[in-house]
Amino acid sequence: MLIVTSMKLFILAALFGFSLAQHNPNFKHGRTSIVQLFEWRWVDIAAECERFLGPKGFGGIQISPPAEHIVLTSPWHPWWQRYQPIGYKLCSRSGSEDELKDMITRCNNVGVNIYADAVINHMCGASGGAGTHSACGSWFNASKKDFPSVPYSSWDFNDKKCKTGSGEIEDYGDIFQVRDCRLVSLLDLAVEKDYVRSKLAEYMNKLIDMGVAGFRVDACKHMWPGDLENIYHRLHNLSTAWFPSGSRPLVYQEVIDLGGEAISANEYVRLGRVTEFKYGAKLGTVFRKWDGEKLFYTRNWGEGWGFMSDGHAVVFIDNHDNQRGHGAGGASIITFWDSKLHKMAVGYMLAHPYGVARVMSSYRWNRHIENGKDKNDWMGPPSYGNGTTKPVPVNPDQTCGDGWVCEHRWRQITNMVIFRNVVNGQPHSNWWDNQSNQVAFGRGDRGFIVFNNDDWDLDVTLNTGMPGGTYCDVISGQKEGGRCTGKQIQVGDDGHAHFRISNTEEDPFVAIHAESKL
Ligand code: AAO
C-alpha cells in the first residue's frame, strides 16, 4: 500500500516536474515538426504560414533572433550579427516589432507556432565599438559595456569572475571558464544577478505575451543550469488567445555535446528540451557510409545510440551553424548541398519516432572551401547592396527563388512532415534490413518507409503492417485529386507489399501512409 502511494506520488511529481520543465512543444491539431526559417523576414514568414506551412501541417517555426542586434560592415552584414544583441527592442534585420507581432498572430491563426531564438548569454563582441550601428539605431558602447536601451552597464557582466588570462574561454574542459568567460569575445552577461535575470525574463515575456509558443535558447552550455532555471521560472504562461490556459513555453536549449567534454547535455534536460547534436552528426556518418557505418545499424536508433532520453531531445540533420562549419560542424553533416542524401536523412528523421524534429530551411551562399574551411561562412541571406534582406519569392513550381533554398518546400521533405503527423503516436514497427544499407520500418498500421542506400537494387516483399489497398508513394509523387503522381504500392490483405527501388533513382526511398491510400 505504502509502496503504491509513494509510487503514485513519484509519478505525480514526475508529471508535475515535466509540465514545469517546459518540454511540451504546444503543437496545435496533431502537428509534429518545426522548421527553422533561417534569416527570413517577418513579412515573408507570415505569408509562408498562410500559403504553405499552415495547409501542409507544419507545427512551428524557429525564427532568427528577434532582438535588436549590432550591424556590422566588415565583413558585410554577416548572418551572425543577429547573435550579438545590443538590447531587447524588437527590431532586427527580419523587420519591425509591428511586423513581428503581425506575423506571430497570422501564423498562430493558421495553427503554426513560433519559437524565438533567444540570445541571453551575452551582448555583442568586445570589439563592437561605440555608436548607433544597431538594427534600430540604439546607441551603445561595447568597450565600456554600456547598453542604455536595456539598460546594462559594466556591473552586469561576468568579467571579474572569469579566471583566464585572455578573458576568453580557452579550455572547454574547465566548466568555470565555459560558463564565466567570453565565448568568442562576446560580452558575457552576469546571469546570476537578479537584475540581469529580470531583464532577460522581461524580454522573453514580451514575446510570450505576443503569442510565441517557446524558445530555442542560444549558447546554454555557457550559462549555469541554476541561472537558467531561475529565468525559466519567471516566464509567463502562453497566451490564452491560442493556447490552453496554464500552458508553459517550450524551452529547447542549445548545448553542443558530442561527448568528451566536461559539460554534458544531461545537465540541462531537467529544465527543458535540449538540441541533440549527436543525431545529425551520426546519421550523416551513416548515410555517407563513413567509419564503416551501415544503415542497418540504426535498428536501435535513438537512445540505443547513446542519445539523451526521447522526451528531452530536439533533433535535426543540420542547423545554421553546422551547415557552414560553425558549432559542431563536421564534414559528416548533410546539408542541402548534398541534396539526395539530405532528402533521405531528413526523411529518416521524420519517419522515426525519436525526439521533436526540426527541418532546416536555408539560403545559398558562395561557398568557398579551402583546406576544409569555408571562407565565406559569414555570408548573410540574399540581400540588396545596402544589406537589407530580400523577400522570398515563390516560383510557379512552388520552389523559392533569389537564393532561398526552402528545403521545407521540397516535395519529399514536405510530404514526410505530413507523414510524421499521420503516424504520430504510433510505435516503430516491422523493421527489416538486408544487413547492409537497405532498411525499412513502419509506424504501427499508419505508415511504412523503405530506404535503399546500397549500390545495388532493392527488390523485396515486406510486411508493412498496413491495411490492404493501393497506396501512393509520397516520395516520387503524391496523391492529387484521388490520383497518384508517383509510384503506386499494392499492399495485400496480409499487409505484405513488394518494393523495388533502384540505387540509381533520384530519390532511392519510398514512403506510404494512411492518408496516401488511393
Ligand atoms: C563572430 C565572429 C567571431 C567574433 C565574434 C564577436 O565569428 O570571430 O569573435 O563574432 O565579435 C555565431 C557565430 C560566431 C559569431 C557569433 C557572434 O557562429 O562565429 O562570432 O555568432 O556574432 C560554441 C558554443 C555554441 C555556439 C557555437 C557557434 O558552445 O553555443 O560555438 N552556437 C550558438 C549559435 C551561433 C552563435 C552563438 C552561439 C553565439 O548557434 O550561431 O555564434 O551567440 C566545441 C564545443 C561547442 C562550441 C564549438 C565552437 O564543439 O563543444 O560548444 O560551440 O566548439 O566551435 C568537434 C567537437 C565539438 C566541438 C567542435 C568544434 O565537432 O566534437 O564538440 O569540434 O568545431
Q: Is 125 in the pocket of ligand 1 (CB under 6 A)?
A: yes
Mean pLDDT, rounded, of the chain: 95
Residue 129 CA to residue 331 CA, distance in Å, equals 35
Catalytic residue among 39, 48, 188, 218: 218
Res. 150 pLDDT band, cuts 50 70 90: very high
Phi, psi (deg, nearest 5) at residue 456: -145, 170
CA-based nearest residue to 133, from 188, 201, 86: 86
Alpha carbon 140 to its chain's center: 31
Predicted pLDDT of residue 10: 41
Identify whether 480 is a catalytic site residue.
no
Q: Among the atoms of ligand 1, which is closest to the Cα of residue 221?
A: 29
State pLDDT tens for residues 73-118. 999 999 999 999 999 999 999 999 999 999 999 999 999 999 999 9
CA of 326 to the centre of ligand 1 (A): 6
CA-based nearest residue to 317, from 271, 295, 350: 350
Predicted pLDDT of residue 335: 98
CA atoms within 13 A on the CB side of 340: 12
Number of residues written out for the chain: 518
CA of 152 to the centre of ligand 1 (A): 24
C-alpha cell at 287: 548515410
Residue of 38, 62, 83 with the most ligand 1 atoms within 8 Å of its CB, for mutation: 83
CA-based nearest residue to 203, from 65, 85, 89: 89
The structure's pTM equals 0.96
- H, E, C per residue of 26-91: CCCCCCCEEEEECCCCHHHHHHHHHHHHCCCCCCEEEECCCCCEECCCCCCCCHHHHHCECCCCCC
Residue 353 CA to residue 19 CA, distance in Å, equals 21
Predicted pLDDT of residue 21: 57
Q: Is 345 in the pocket of ligand 1 (CB under 6 A)?
A: no
511 within 8 A of 475, measured Cβ to Cβ: yes
Ligand 1, atom 50, lies closest to the CA of 328
Residue 8, pLDDT above cutoff 80: no
DSSP string covering 453-492 = -SSS-EEEEEE--S-SEEEE-TTT--EETTEESS-EEEEP
Residue 327, pLDDT above cutoff 80: yes
State pLDDT tens for residues 271-311. 999 999 999 999 999 999 999 999 999 999 999 999 999 99
Ligand 1, atom 31, lies closest to the CA of 327
Q: Is 168 in the pocket of ligand 1 (CB under 6 A)?
A: no
**Which whole number is the average pLDDT over 182-193?**
98
Q: Is 258 in the pocket of ligand 1 (CB under 6 A)?
A: yes
Residue 154, Cβ density class (10 Å: 0-12 exposed, 13-18 middle, ≥19 buried): exposed
Q: Is 184 in the pocket of ligand 1 (CB under 6 A)?
A: yes
**Which whole number is the average pLDDT over 211-226?**
98
DSSP string covering 273-318 = EEE-HHHHHHHHHHHHT-TT--GGGGGG-SGGGTPPPGGGEEEES-
State pLDDT tens for residues 360-397. 999 999 999 999 899 999 999 999 999 999 999 999 99
Q: Is 424 in the pocket of ligand 1 (CB under 6 A)?
A: no
Partnered with residue 450 across adjacent β-strands are 440, 510
Ligand 1, atom 48, lies closest to the CA of 327
Residue 5, pLDDT above cutoff 80: no
DSSP string covering 205-236 = HHHHHHT--EEEETTGGGS-HHHHHHHHHTPP
Residue 14, pLDDT above cutoff 80: no
Residue 257 CA to residue 395 CA, distance in Å, equals 39
CA of 184 to the centre of ligand 1 (A): 7
C-alpha cell at 477: 509523387
Identify whether 68 is a catalytic site residue.
no
Q: Is 327 in the pocket of ligand 1 (CB under 6 A)?
A: yes
Ligand 1, atom 55, lies closest to the CA of 327
DSSP H or E stretch at residue 412:
helix 411-422
Q: Is 157 in the pocket of ligand 1 (CB under 6 A)?
A: no
Q: Is 175 in the pocket of ligand 1 (CB under 6 A)?
A: no
CA of 128 to the centre of ligand 1 (A): 17
Residue of 62, 81, 256, 360 with the most ligand 1 atoms within 8 Å of its CB, for mutation: 256
Residue 209 CA to residue 237 CA, distance in Å, equals 8
DSSP H or E stretch at residue 359:
strand 356-361
Predicted pLDDT of residue 329: 82
C-alpha cell at 304: 540505443
CA of 325 to the centre of ligand 1 (A): 10
CA of 324 to the centre of ligand 1 (A): 11
187 within 8 A of 142, measured Cβ to Cβ: yes
CA atoms within 13 A on the CB side of 492: 8
State pLDDT tens for residues 235-279. 999 999 999 999 999 999 999 999 999 999 999 999 999 999 999
Residue 16, pLDDT above cutoff 50: no
Residue 474 CA to residue 517 CA, distance in Å, equals 10
Ligand 1, atom 24, lies closest to the CA of 219
Q: Among the atoms of ligand 1, which is closest to the Cα of residue 185?
A: 9
State pLDDT tens for residues 407-439. 999 999 999 999 999 999 999 999 999 999 999
DSSP string covering 319-341 = -TTGGGT-SS--TT---GGGHHH
Residue 13, pLDDT above cutoff 60: no
Res. 6 pLDDT band, cuts 50 70 90: very low
